[in-house]
């Protein structure tokens, strides 16, 4: 190996060491509040660790070439020809192929298997997207509310979301859970989530359901807060909501537990998203 190759190798090793250290230790991920979030964050970290040596190799050659082979002032002649290196090209192609195949199996197939490890659910929640709000149903508790401002979930409970749309394509995305599923008109799609941290939108804005599919002028306003409760608190929330619904003329609980949002006798609803959407037209 010539002098240039030695210097590039040393530079690459140093940059890779720093990059790997940052990839493993830097806290760049937002709040993860579900078991599925841990799986996805682990996959992201692994991909980042695998990507660092490739990126630093390219950057090492790039920066060294700029400093070592840059033209001198007033030199307008072409530089010396660069000859190919068949051995280096072969190593690059084989290395890239091995890396790509490895990623297909881990985290690819392995991650999918972990996310779909069990199709059973302890709680079913139905979510319907409508321009520009969400309707929510808890069939196990005979509770429903339209134009929802929030959704409550019990901690450490496997939840199955049955998702559909009334008009156009929407998408249920919960950043803190790292999970997203399209709401398709005429079809029911499913999403499995196991929340494992108690919290709400006031604690972290990633605890929200956000439409992630451009669906019209009210798209950015189409969200509802996610509230993850302890088991007993969730049962109290359900009981209070059902009692209010049975009484007719109810109002929905916001994230602070206070009352807010216009309600009908059939269930809770919040007008904020639609009113804002109308004002934006």
Tell me the pLDDT tens digit for each residue of 92-117: 899 899 999 999 999 999 888 888 87
Pair 99, 203 in one domain = no
Residue 142 sits at φ, ψ, to 5 deg, of 55, 45
Pair 9, 143 in one domain = no
Comparison of pLDDT for 264 and 236, the residue scoring more:
236
Residue 176 lies in a domain: yes
Pair 211, 265 in one domain = yes
CATH number at residue 173: 2.60.40.420
HSE-CB of 163 using CA atoms within 13 angstroms: 23
Tell me the pLDDT tens digit for each residue of 3-42: 888 999 999 999 999 999 999 888 888 889 999 999 999 9
Pair 180, 246 in one domain = yes
Q: How many domains does the chain have?
A: 2
Residue 77 lies in a domain: no
Indicate the pLDDT class of residue 229, thresholds 50, 70 and 90.
very high
Query: What average pLDDT is seen over the chain?
Result: 84
Residue 196 lies in a domain: yes
Q: Please answer whether residues 45 and 28 qualify as being in contact, where contact means their C-beta atoms are separated by less than 8 angstroms.
A: no
Pair 101, 141 in one domain = no
Pair 157, 262 in one domain = yes
Tell me the pLDDT tens digit for each residue of 72-93: 777 777 777 777 778 888 988 9
Whole domain around residue 58: which residue ranges? Answer: 3-68+88-115
Which residues have CB under 8 Å from 69's CB, separation 6+? 79
In the prediction, which pLDDT does 245 show? 65
Comparison of pLDDT for 243 and 23, the residue scoring more:
23
């Amino acid at each position: 190996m010539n002098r240039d190759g030695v210097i590039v190798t040393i530079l690459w090793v140093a940059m890779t060491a720093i990059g790997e250290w940052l990839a493993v230790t830097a806290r760049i991920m937002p709040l993860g509040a579900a078991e599925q979030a841990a799986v996805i964050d682990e996959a992201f970290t692994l991909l980042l660790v695998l990507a660092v040596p490739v990126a630093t190799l390219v950057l090492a050659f790039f920066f060294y070439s700029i400093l070592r082979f840059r033209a001198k002032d007033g030199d307008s002649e072409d530089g010396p020809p660069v000859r190919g290196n068949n051995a280096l090209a072969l190593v690059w192609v084989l290395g890239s192929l091995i890396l790509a195949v490895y990623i297909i199996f881990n985290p690819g197939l392995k991650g999918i298997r972990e996310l779909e490890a069990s199709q059973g659910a302890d709680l079913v929640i139905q979510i319907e997207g409508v321009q520009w709000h969400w309707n929510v149903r808890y069939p196990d508790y005979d509770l429903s509310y339209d134009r929802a401002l929030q959704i409550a979930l019990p901690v450490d409970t496997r939840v199955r979301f049955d998702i559909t749309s009334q008009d156009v394509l929407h998408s249920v995305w919960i950043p803190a859970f790292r999970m997203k599923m399209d709401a398709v008109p005429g079809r029911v799609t499913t999403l499995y989530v196991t929340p494992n941290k108690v919290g709400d939108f006031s604690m972290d804005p990633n605890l929200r359901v956000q439409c992630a599919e451009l669906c019209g002028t009210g798209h950015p306003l189409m969200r509802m807060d996610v509230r993850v409760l302890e088991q007993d608190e969730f049962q109290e929330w359900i009981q209070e909501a059902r009692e209010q619904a049975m009484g007719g003329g109810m109002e929905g609980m916001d994230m602070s537990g206070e009352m807010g949002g216009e309600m009908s006798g059939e269930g809770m609803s919040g007008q904020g998203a639609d009113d804002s959407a109308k004002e934006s037209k």
